[in-house]
């Protein structure tokens, strides 16, 4: 990491604490960086999923634990340019097809959560699994987060099932 690098601070802790999704804020901060500038990110957890994205965009990272389980991460532009920034960004949107699909709709709680965690732990780096549930698994999310997984979820359009996709850290 070069001492010359100038860092722009992005503090996403208020967004995370409010339950929001900070990804777009980080990406727009990234777009506004001048060449050679880096990003200093403050988050309430170690943003493992982001490391792979940033690496593809040409940033190396060093992280440092702060008090209260919070993290400061320095993203420093690497010497070599990324091959194709646009493609790298869409990589994040286009997660690979699920390696595992689970239908947990008819399992008694908390069996759906146990099964998802067990299968998620078997995923290879960057792989995804998808699961159908009867309800929004609110108690599962903190467990996924503690293990460094990312997830996307929502009810199907007819409202009868909750569709969850979990992605292993790259």
Number of residues counted as binding another protein (CB under 8 A): 34
Element (H, E) at 116: helix 111-122
Question: Is the CB of 14 or the CB of 36 nearer to another protein?
Answer: 14
Pick one of 3, 4, 18, 34: the residue that binds another protein (CB under 8 A): 18
List own/partner pairs for 35-38 with CB under 8 A and 24 or more apart. 35/77, 36/4, 36/5, 36/6, 36/77, 37/5, 37/6, 37/7, 37/8, 37/77, 38/5, 38/6, 38/7, 38/8, 38/74, 38/75, 38/76, 38/77
Question: Is the CB of 40 or the CB of 134 nearer to another protein?
Answer: 134
Q: State the binding string over 105-144 for another protein (x if CB under 8 A, else -).
A: -x-xxxx-xxxxxxxxx------------xxxxxxxxxx-
Question: Is the CB of 63 or the CB of 145 nearer to another protein?
Answer: 145
* Interface ranges with another protein (CB under 8 A): 16-19, 21, 44-45, 106, 108-111, 113-121, 134-143, 145-146, 160
């Amino acid at each position: 990491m070069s001492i010359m690098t100038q860092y722009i601070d992005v503090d996403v802790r208020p967004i995370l604490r409010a339950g929001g999704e900070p990804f777009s804020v980080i990406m727009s901060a990234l777009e506004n960086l001048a060449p050679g500038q880096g990003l200093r990110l403050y988050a309430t957890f170690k943003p493992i999923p982001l490391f792979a994205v940033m690496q593809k965009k040409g940033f190396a990272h060093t992280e440092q634990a702060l008090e209260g389980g919070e993290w400061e991460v320095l993203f420093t532009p690497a010497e070599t340019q990324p091959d194709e920034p646009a493609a790298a960004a869409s990589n994040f949107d286009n997660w690979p097809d699920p390696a595992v699909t689970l239908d947990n709709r008819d399992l008694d709680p908390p069996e759906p959560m146990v099964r998802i965690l067990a299968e998620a732990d078997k995923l290879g780096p960057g792989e995804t699994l998808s699961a159908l549930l009867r309800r929004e698994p609110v108690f599962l999310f903190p467990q996924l987060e503690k293990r460094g997984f990312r997830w996307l979820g929502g009810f199907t359009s007819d409202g009868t099932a909750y569709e969850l996709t979990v992605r292993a850290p790259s």
